[in-house]
Amino acid sequence: MNIESRISAKVQKALVRLYDTEISPDKIQIQRTRKDFTGDFTVVVFPFLRFSKLPPEQTGEEIGNFLKDQLDEISGFNVIKGFLNLTIDNTFWVRFLNSMNQRDHIYDLYTEPSNRKIVVEYSSPNTNKPLHLGHIRNNLLGFSVSRILQATGHQVRKVNLVNDRGIHICKSMLAWQKWGEEETPATRGIKGDHLVGDYYVRFEQEYKKQVADLIAKGKSKEEAEKEAPIIQEARELLNRWEKDDPETMELWKKMNGWVLEGFNETYQALGIDFDKVYYESEVYKLGREEVKKGLDQGIFFAQQDGSVWADLAEKDLDQKLLLRSDGTSVYITQDIGTAIQRYREFEFDEHIYVVGNEQNYHFQVLKILLDKLGYSWAEHLHHLAYGMVELPEGKMKSREGTVVDADDLIREMLATAGQMTEESGKVGNFSEEEQKKIYRSIGLGALKYFILKVDPKKNMTFDPRESVDFNGNTGPFIQYSYARINSLLSKAAERSISIPREINIHNNLNDKEIQLIKLIHQFPSILAEAAEEMNPAEVANFIYELAREFNQFYHDHSVLSAESKEVVQLRILLSVQVSRVIREAMWLLGIDLPERM
């Protein structure tokens, strides 16, 4: 049982003994003591006042005295208003440091295996353009959340739904038919997803011209957008696809193949993977059949033009289109089908969709529709909504070809990492091959950390140069701290100083040493919070604080030349465990760590 749980159990006992009151553990609030107060853990006393019938300060004093008498680990306490701040004895922190070697992972000290099955869907790209900066946030967030949930004991399945059918790919296909002149990624010398993306942009350019021409001839904007010849051709191409027209299917397979090959290269570059990949073209019919069942059962209704709708007035929402008048599906139809299929496959306890916050309404409606169709597990669908990513120069627009392609950004990050690393003098006498490997680790580490350190709910601005700063809250700073510890341990080995399994010193630990142990002790609870909130920023910012604290400690105190053998052993073991926490935490973020820099 961890110390927080033991404190909670003793608080329960105190309430029975002092106030003849039993209370459930979830009613007891224990949190880390704020930095501006003395203490390690704080018990919130206010909820107990109705039982004690005493002022908060007196209630806190009584409970504090009881806990100090019951728990040897508590060396003292203070009460500030309704907050009981408990100070933990140094012997506990040393025992904790020694116990870390008993587990494969530090977070195992707190994690219990779970039978909960969780599906995490992320990426979900359209096959009409390459992945861009927004997709990078999506992929990094989904991948990291999956690892965090896995580390906290859940059974996690990482899935990707590729939107490989619909009007979007038909636009690229039509543009290639009109202006492609049979070019391929090989003849053009570019990745297939970039080639197809260029034709999507070309379509939108021509479409915009035609709409402008029709408006100039007296059509309204809405009429022009519907009647432009090129959009009508794209819709007809989609109809031919849904009817399995051989020529259309051949072109679709060819161009989708180009894109999927390009996607896989980008995923590999980012270090992202999936347990299973679904394709909309293979699953959309299931959703369509479910909608038709709902229509037959009177759950949905049809308009005169044959389109199928859901009336959501009872939920204070508008009507939602489910099937177009020509019988073609919309996104929500496909998501109905894939949700049902996944539940049949995995019988999940929770399904997490990692999708931008502009789709909040979509997932609200999805849960309502599945519930209407009689699927009780719909309440376990969760939309992990994240904010927009912008560059310092502003927003990106894919239709205008102004997005930042993921591949281009990765290349820029590697180049920036190389330039700034050389300027800072952080890389020593390494071969050219070693330098390339290190620059790659630094560049991708900078990108991933900068994205993940921001709360997913917030919009963010990504600045490539700022992300590679070795002195700020960045991935490279943490990577360099890890490499510094490795260098320290190498020097220890050269001096025949072994790493102890445990240390016996309990007194005279300085404030920096105790603070480092306390930070390490926080890691499992930080991880639990990150899993609960599905927020990798909790892990990222914690690990920055730990790395910064270690660097201050290292600056102020000698490790290998400390005043006694016992202190050397303490500081060596402490350095090892700090590096271990950094390694495990950065793995949760999907970030590689160079062994030396």
pLDDT in tens, 78-132: 999 999 999 999 999 999 999 887 777 776 655 667 789 999 999 999 999 999 9
Domain match, 480 and 583 both:
yes
Is the model more confident about 25 or about 291? Answer: 291
pLDDT value of residue 352: 98
Is the Cβ–Cβ distance between 252 and 241 less than 8 Å?
yes
**Whether residue 232 has pLDDT greater than 80:** yes
**Whether residue 215 has pLDDT greater than 90:** yes
Domain match, 221 and 321 both:
yes
Domain match, 349 and 464 both:
no
The answer to the question of residue 434 being in a domain is no
Question: In the chain, pLDDT over 90 holds for what percent of residues?
Answer: 79
Domain match, 484 and 356 both:
no
pLDDT value of residue 535: 98
For residue 221, CA distances in Å to 211, 212, 500 come to 7, 8, 75
Domain match, 291 and 377 both:
yes
pLDDT value of residue 387: 95
Domain match, 14 and 126 both:
no
The model's confidence at residue 326, banded by pLDDT at 50, 70 and 90, is: confident
Domain match, 143 and 270 both:
yes
pLDDT value of residue 397: 47
Domain match, 134 and 60 both:
no
CB atoms within 10 A of CB 593: 20
Domain match, 384 and 522 both:
no
Domain match, 248 and 355 both:
yes
The answer to the question of residue 99 being in a domain is no
Is the model more confident about 149 or about 501? Answer: 149
Domain boundary among 88, 108, 140: 88
CA atoms within 13 A on the CB side of 294: 27
Please report, for the domain that includes residue 560, its CATH number.
Answer: 1.10.730.10
The model's confidence at residue 419, banded by pLDDT at 50, 70 and 90, is: confident
pLDDT value of residue 426: 64
Q: Phi/psi of residue 87, each to 5°?
A: -105, 130
Which long-range CB contacts under 8 A does 32-40 form with residues at least 24 apart? 32/522, 32/525, 33/85, 33/86, 37/78, 37/80, 37/83, 37/85, 38/78, 38/85, 38/87, 39/77, 39/78, 39/85, 39/86, 39/87, 40/85, 40/86, 40/87, 40/88, 40/518
The model's confidence at residue 394, banded by pLDDT at 50, 70 and 90, is: low
Domain boundary among 88, 107, 142: 88
Domain boundary among 337, 372, 400: 400
The answer to the question of residue 472 being in a domain is yes
Q: Which of 305, 348, 15, 289 is nearest to 154 (CA)?
A: 348
Token reading at 282: 């293979």
The answer to the question of residue 415 being in a domain is no
The answer to the question of residue 288 being in a domain is yes
pLDDT in tens, 468-524: 888 889 999 999 999 999 999 999 999 999 998 888 876 778 999 999 999 999 998
The answer to the question of residue 412 being in a domain is no
Segment 297-322 mean pLDDT: 94
Domain match, 325 and 378 both:
yes
Segment 250-278 mean pLDDT: 97
The model's confidence at residue 402, banded by pLDDT at 50, 70 and 90, is: low
Residue-number span of the structural domain to which 245 is assigned: 122-400
**Whether residue 13 has pLDDT greater than 70:** yes
The answer to the question of residue 320 being in a domain is yes
Is the Cβ–Cβ distance between 189 and 384 less than 8 Å?
no
Distance of CA 219 to the CA centre of its chain: 46
Please report, for the domain that includes residue 35, its CATH number.
Answer: 3.30.1360.70
pLDDT in tens, 357-385: 999 999 999 999 999 999 999 999 999 99
**Whether residue 399 has pLDDT greater than 80:** no
CB atoms within 10 A of CB 557: 15
Segment 178-190 mean pLDDT: 96
Please report, for the domain that includes residue 378, its CATH number.
Answer: 3.40.50.620
Burial of residue 173, with CB atoms counted within 10 A of its CB: 0-12 exposed, 13-18 middle, 19 or more buried: buried
In the DSSP assignment, the letter for residue 83 is: E
Domain match, 172 and 47 both:
no
How does the average pLDDT of the chain come out, rounded?
92
The number of domains in the chain is 3
The answer to the question of residue 436 being in a domain is no
Q: What pTM did the predictor assign?
A: 0.91
